[in-house]
Amino acid sequence: MSRNTSRRPRERTAARRRTHQEQRAHARPRRERLYGTHAVAAALANPGRRCHRLIATQEGVSQLAGRIDARALPLAARGLFEAPQIVSRQDIAALLPDGAVHQGVVLETAPLPAVDLAAACRSAAQAEKGARPVVVLDQVTDPHNVGAILRSAAAFSVGAVVVQDRHSPQGAGALAKAASGALEQVPLARVVNIARTLVVLKELGFWCLGLDPDADETIGAVSVRAPLALVLGAEGQGMRRLTRERCDLTARIPMPGSMASLNVSNAAAIALYEVARQ
């Protein structure tokens, strides 16, 4: 008995240490590095983005100037644009992951402020030009896919994109590059639990439609209701069971060709087009 009792403090200490390590692993970084002219130009022009340092080649500055109007930049960002740190392409490549297509520009920024999901959804549901849909991603982890979905979301006037914090891309660079500026336009809300979030969305009046390749109905045959939450799962496994059960209805994209599935970002674009058409 005494031997077991003596172990408990050590076990509790080890458990606390593991918890702290997990929290540090999932903590948002204090600074992010965005790259590529579209992503950097959009971040500089976003008054909600706190920018720290612009690093660029001389050619990169020239390309960036063609993307933005300096008069429209927030005052704090204008100084960065007018006096960037000029370096070589090799210096920029050394700051970024291997293979990053930086186009000669890197912007060091603070992460965007956390999105209040309820506030973003209420705003989407009450939009002046009609309720805007919300996109919910269940364990979509590839930053290029999430970025491409954000780009489609901006094109189709989506009110917010929702991801699960522990099963979504944490690095903003590749995501922002794929989003081509849409990360600054579409609220990206991070939540703890997707299934519980769907319950919250229903309480806010949203109708939850999940994309499922095994669904009986096609998305074109479904009468879409507004405000709508469009739910997509990860490639391969699709939506998890609890997520699927929380949906009001599931639908599939008809594919008469030889491929049985689509990249999730392509599926999102098709589904958003169909929602907008209806």
132: its two tokens: 């805007």
Contacts of 11 (CB under 8 A, 6+ apart): none
Q: Are 213 and 260 in contact (CB under 8 A)?
A: yes
The CA distance from 262 to 29, in Å, is 33
Q: Are 153 and 195 in the same domain?
A: yes
Cα dist. 60→35, 268, 271 in Å? 11, 32, 36
Return phi, psi of residue 15, to 5°: -65, -40
Q: How far is the C-alpha of 254 from the C-alpha of 116, rounded, in Å?
A: 35
Domain shared by 131 and 261, yes or no: yes
Q: Which domain holds residue 27?
A: 1-113
- Contact call for residues 31 and 52 (beta carbons, < 8 A): yes
Bond from prior residue into 227 cis (ω within 30 degrees of 0): yes
**Both 251 and 130 in a single domain?**
yes
pLDDT at 170: 65
Residues 9 and 106 in one domain: yes
Based on the fold, state whether residues 79 and 150 are members of the same structural domain.
no
Residue from 91, 87, 230, 56 nearest 160 by CA: 230
- How many beta carbons lie within 10 A of that of residue 243, not counting itself? 23
**Per-residue exposure over 21-60, b if at least 16 CB sit within 10 Å of its own CB, e if not:** eeeeeeeeeeebbbbbbbbbbbbbbbeebbbeebbbbeeb
**Contact in structure between 119 and 160 (CB atoms under 8 Å):** no
User: Are 8 and 136 within one domain?
Assistant: no
102 lies in the same domain as 127:
no
The answer to whether 43 and 107 are in contact (CB under 8 A) is: yes
Asked whether residue 43 falls in the same domain as residue 104, the answer is: yes
The model scores a pTM over 0.75: yes
**181 shares its domain with 50:** no
Q: 78, 97, 113 — which closes off a domain?
A: 113
pLDDT value at position 14? 54
The count of structural domains within the chain is 2
* pLDDT one digit per residue (tens) for the chain, 278 residues: 444 444 455 555 555 554 444 444 445 558 899 999 999 999 999 999 999 999 999 999 999 999 998 888 999 999 999 999 999 999 999 999 999 999 999 999 999 999 999 999 999 988 877 889 999 999 898 999 999 999 999 999 999 999 998 867 766 899 999 999 999 999 999 999 999 999 999 999 999 999 999 999 999 999 888 899 999 998 778 899 999 999 999 999 998 887 777 899 999 999 999 999 88
Q: Are residues 251 and 263 in the same domain?
A: yes
CATH number of 86's domain: 3.30.1330.30
pLDDT of residue 127: 83
Count of C-beta atoms within a 10 Å radius of residue 197: 25
The verdict on 69 and 106 lying in the same domain is yes
Q: Does 63 share its domain with 185?
A: no
- CATH code: domain of residue 229: 3.40.1280.10
Domain boundary among 65, 82, 113: 113
Of 61, 85, 113, which residue sits at a domain end? 113
Which is nearest to 172 in space by CA: 11, 39, 2?
39
